[in-house]
A = this chain, B = another copy of it.
Amino acid sequence: MPGAIGHAKTRVEELRPAWGRASPSREQASVVSSVTIIHVAQRAAVSVKTVSRVLNGEPYVREELRQRVLEAAKALRFRPRPSARSMAGPRSYVIAYLMTDPSVPYTGQSQLGALTACRRAGYHLLVESVDTSADDLAAELESLFTTLDVDGMLLTPPHGDNPAILDALDQAGIRYVRIAPGGDLDRSATVDADDRLAAHAMTSHLLGLGHRRIAFVAGPAAHGASRRRLDGFRQAMADRGVAVDEALVREGAFTFPSGLEAANQLLTLADRPTAVFASNDVMALGVIATAQRLGLAVPRDLSVAGFDDAPIAAMVWPSLTTVRHPIAEMAAAAADLLIARAARDAGPSPSHSSMHCELIIRESTAPPPGARPSPGPDRP
Contact = CB atoms under 8 A, between A and B. Distances in A.
Interface stretch (A80-88, A210-218, A221-229, A267-275): A80-88
- Do most interface residues of chain A lie in helix, strand or loop, or is the interface mixed? mixed
Interface size class of A (residues with CB under 8 A): 35 or more
B87 A115 contact: no
Contacts of A101: 108
A24 to B, nearest CB: 9
A103 B84 CA distance: 35
A79 to B, nearest CB: 5
Given A124-B126, A173-B22, A83 B317 contact: no
Copies in the complex: 2
A312 interface: yes
Interface of A: 14-23, 26, 29-30, 32-33, 77, 79, 81-84, 86-87, 90, 92, 94, 97, 99, 101-105, 107-109, 111-112, 115, 122, 124-129, 143, 146-149, 152, 166, 169-170, 172-177, 185-189, 256, 282, 285-286, 288-290, 292-293, 311-312, 314-317, 341, 345-346, 349-350, 352
20 contacts: A15-B185, A15-B186, A15-B352, A18-B188, A26-B346, A32-B173, A83-B83, A83-B87, A84-B87, A87-B87, A99-B111, A101-B108, A102-B107, A102-B111, A102-B112, A103-B109, A103-B311, A105-B105, A256-B315, A286-B315
